[in-house]
């Protein structure tokens, strides 16, 4: 096995296959420590190299990285990494007897390698895996195990909601109400308000200290300014609460000012409904953008999209039923009064697709493209991986507005959690940037039916 330094600082990290599928460049993230790759990992990567989407791309990139290392030396003997560590591919673990009932499968063979190293090495051995079951079984074997932490986002970035409450003197409040800006330093906070740092594009509920009147506002260039679209009803939609007013402000802002909008909150807060209303207003009514492109992260994309019959809209359509329901509500609100009402609603939705106002595309097909002068809406973004989100953010071309929405507490992808998904990554990367507006809805701003809201409160 690889020899560790005798200064007590070097560790041995055994990497599971899923780490490479999540981040093909993970070998550069362990400093000057020793990285051990069980040979079964190479075999598993080979089995997945033809997979579509993000999974296949990361697998192929990982194999290319191994090939580059192989050209520099013998991977079985160990190759020095750029950080001063060592990386080795090993065929070991045969001396470890698996517990009764454990099958001879890749996960267990990786566990045996980590167990053998633990028993025969003088330095700490850590198995790194994104698989919860592998980490649980590591405990049973007495092997220390950790999740891959490089893509983990701190909770501080996840709780940012892009909104705050401040106080202004009556004089400054009157100035703001008359349409003038107020210097940010004039803002005062309630004593129990712990978040006293205001960021660019942060939305504000401004209270008059004397009369307690409240005005919606936002932060712009170190000043407090009134909302620009406070009286606008996009596609006939009237906002119901402060969160919706703030969301509409962000969604209607020109792409040259705010090209990225991140909406987060629980189901029923109208994230999709407001996004589509503002998008239709700007595309179908005002011709500001060429079209609306809707995509949604889904755990089935990689293995199912190619097998479904029909064109791309037909394939992606079942995954976008939530968007379709909202589109039906929006076109219905425009007024369909004859006896063929339901048919006319569906006809209007079909018209939007057939005439190019809206397109639905699989997330995996975004790689390598540059999207110009359109609105790209990524629904259920909490189910994207950080690498997928990187790809999305780098595809935005001139005049395009990107809207990302999701709920960090409703993740369906088994490879992701609250701290290592694409929505969390975007929040960490872009929150507070002048090019981005973040709006987190509160639970009290849900617009569900009374029954749905009651059930949701009871099962929490």
> Residues 218-237: pLDDT tens digits?
999 999 999 999 999 999 99
Q: What does the pLDDT read at residue 4?
A: 38
Grade residue 337 by pLDDT with cuts at 50, 70 and 90: very low
Q: What does the pLDDT read at residue 307?
A: 44
Grade residue 378 by pLDDT with cuts at 50, 70 and 90: very high
Question: Do 439 and 203 touch, CB atoms closer than 8 A?
Answer: yes
Here the tokens at position 82 are: 């750029």
The values of phi and psi at residue 263, to 5°, are: -110, 130
Q: What does the pLDDT read at residue 45?
A: 96
Does pLDDT of 116 surpass 50?
yes
Tell me what the mean pLDDT of segment 311-324 comes to: 66
Does pLDDT of 387 surpass 60?
yes
Q: Does the pTM exceed 0.85?
A: no
Grade residue 254 by pLDDT with cuts at 50, 70 and 90: very high
For residues 388 and 41, which has the higher predicted lDDT (pLDDT)?
A: 41
Does pLDDT of 322 surpass 50?
yes
Q: Which of 301, 255, 250, 294 is nearest to 276 (CA)?
A: 294
Strands 182-183 and 223-226: antiparallel
Domain(s) labelled CATH 2.30.130 in the chain stretch across 154-226
The residues near 103 (Cβ < 8 Å, ≥ 6 apart) are none
Grade residue 346 by pLDDT with cuts at 50, 70 and 90: confident
Here the tokens at position 306 are: 């190619």
Grade residue 318 by pLDDT with cuts at 50, 70 and 90: low
Grade residue 275 by pLDDT with cuts at 50, 70 and 90: very high
- Count Cβ neighbours within 10 Å for each residue of 194-213 and write b for 16 or more, e otherwise: eeeebbbbbbbebbbeeeee
224 burial level (CB within 10 Å; 0-12, 13-18, 19+):
buried
Grade residue 310 by pLDDT with cuts at 50, 70 and 90: low
Residue 208 C-alpha from the chain's centroid? 37
The superfamily CATH assigns to domain 244-459 is P-loop containing nucleotide triphosphate hydrolases (3.40.50.300)
Here the tokens at position 52 are: 């579509």
Could you report the per-residue pLDDT of 70-90, keeping only the tens digit for each?
999 999 999 998 888 999 999
Which segments of 45-142 are extended strands (E)? Answer: 79-80, 86-90, 125-128
For residues 222 and 152, which has the higher predicted lDDT (pLDDT)?
A: 222
Domain(s) labelled CATH 3.40.50.300 in the chain stretch across 244-459
Q: What does the pLDDT read at residue 457?
A: 64
The values of phi and psi at residue 36, to 5°, are: -110, 130
Distances (CA, A) of 18 to 1, 32, 196, 440: 23, 22, 40, 31
Grade residue 317 by pLDDT with cuts at 50, 70 and 90: low
Q: What does the pLDDT read at residue 5?
A: 44
Q: What does the pLDDT read at residue 65?
A: 93
Grade residue 2 by pLDDT with cuts at 50, 70 and 90: very low
Domain(s) labelled CATH 3.40.50.1010 in the chain stretch across 12-146
Question: Do 273 and 326 touch, CB atoms closer than 8 A?
Answer: yes
Here the tokens at position 134 are: 């592998």
What span, in angstroms and rounded, lies between the C-alpha atoms of 201 and 431? 9
- Tokens 């296959």 correspond to what residue? 17
What span, in angstroms and rounded, lies between the C-alpha atoms of 357 and 231? 25
Grade residue 341 by pLDDT with cuts at 50, 70 and 90: low
The fold adopted by the segment(s) 12-146 is Rossmann fold (3.40.50)
What span, in angstroms and rounded, lies between the C-alpha atoms of 230 and 253? 12
Question: Do 110 and 127 touch, CB atoms closer than 8 A?
Answer: yes
The fold adopted by the segment(s) 154-226 is 2.30.130
* Strands across the sheet containing 358-360: 358-360, 292-296, 375-379, 401-406, 260-264, 436-440
Q: What percent of the chain has pLDDT over 70?
A: 87
Sign of CA pseudo-dihedral 440, 444, 447, 452: positive
Does pLDDT of 448 surpass 50?
yes
């Amino acid at each position: 096995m690889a020899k560790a330094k005798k200064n007590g600082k070097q560790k041995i990290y055994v990497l599971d296959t899923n780490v490479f599928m999540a981040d093909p460049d993970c070998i550069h993230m362990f400093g000057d420590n020793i990285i051990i790759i069980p040979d079964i990992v190479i075999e598993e990567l080979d089995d997945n190299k033809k997979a579509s989407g993000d999974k296949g791309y990361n697998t192929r990139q990982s194999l290319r990285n191994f090939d580059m290392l192989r050209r520099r030396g013998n991977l079985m003997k160990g190759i020095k990494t750029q950080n001063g560590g060592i990386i080795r591919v090993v065929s070991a673990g045969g001396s470890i007897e698996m517990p009764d009932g454990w099958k001879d499968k890749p996960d267990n063979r990786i566990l045996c390698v980590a167990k053998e190293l633990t028993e025969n090495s003088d330095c700490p051995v850590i198995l790194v895996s994104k698989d919860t079951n592998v980490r649980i079984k590591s405990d049973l074997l007495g092997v220390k195990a950790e999740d891959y932490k490089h893509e983990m986002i701190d909770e501080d970035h996840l709780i940012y909601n892009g909104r705050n409450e401040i106080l202004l003197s009556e004089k400054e409040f009157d100035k703001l109400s008359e349409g003038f800006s107020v210097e940010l330093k004039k803002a005062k906070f309630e004593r129990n308000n712990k978040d006293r740092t205001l960021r660019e594009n942060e939305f504000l509920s401004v209270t008059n200290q004397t009369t307690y009147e409240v005005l919606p506002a936002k932060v712009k260039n170190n000043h407090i300014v009134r909302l620009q679209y406070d009286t606008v009803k996009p596609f006939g939609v009237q906002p119901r609460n402060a969160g919706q007013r703030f969301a509409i402000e962000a969604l209607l802002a020109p792409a040259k000012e705010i090209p990225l909008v991140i909406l987060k909150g629980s189901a029923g807060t109208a994230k999709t409904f407001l996004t589509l209303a503002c998008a239709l207003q700007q595309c179908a009514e005002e011709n500001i953008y060429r079209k609306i492109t809707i995509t949604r992260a889904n755990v089935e994309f990689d293995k199912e999209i190619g097998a479904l019959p029909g064109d791309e809209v037909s394939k992606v359509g079942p995954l976008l039923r939530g968007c379709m329901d909202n589109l039906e509500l929006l076109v219905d609100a425009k007024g369909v009064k004859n006896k063929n009402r339901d048919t006319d609603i569906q006809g209007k939705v079909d018209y939007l697709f057939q005439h190019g106002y809206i397109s639905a595309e699989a997330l995996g097909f975004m790689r390598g493209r540059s999207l110009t002068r359109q609105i790209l809406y990524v629904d259920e973004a909490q189910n994207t991986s950080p690498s997928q989100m990187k790809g999305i953010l780098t595809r935005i071309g001139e005049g395009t507005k990107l809207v990302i929405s999701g709920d960090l507490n409703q993740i369906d992808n088994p490879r992701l959690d609250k701290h290592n998904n694409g929505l969390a990554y975007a929040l960490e990367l872009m929150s507070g940037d002048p090019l981005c507006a973040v709006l987190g809805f509160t639970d009290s701003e849900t617009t569900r039916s009374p029954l749905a809201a009651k059930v949701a409160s009871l099962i929490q």
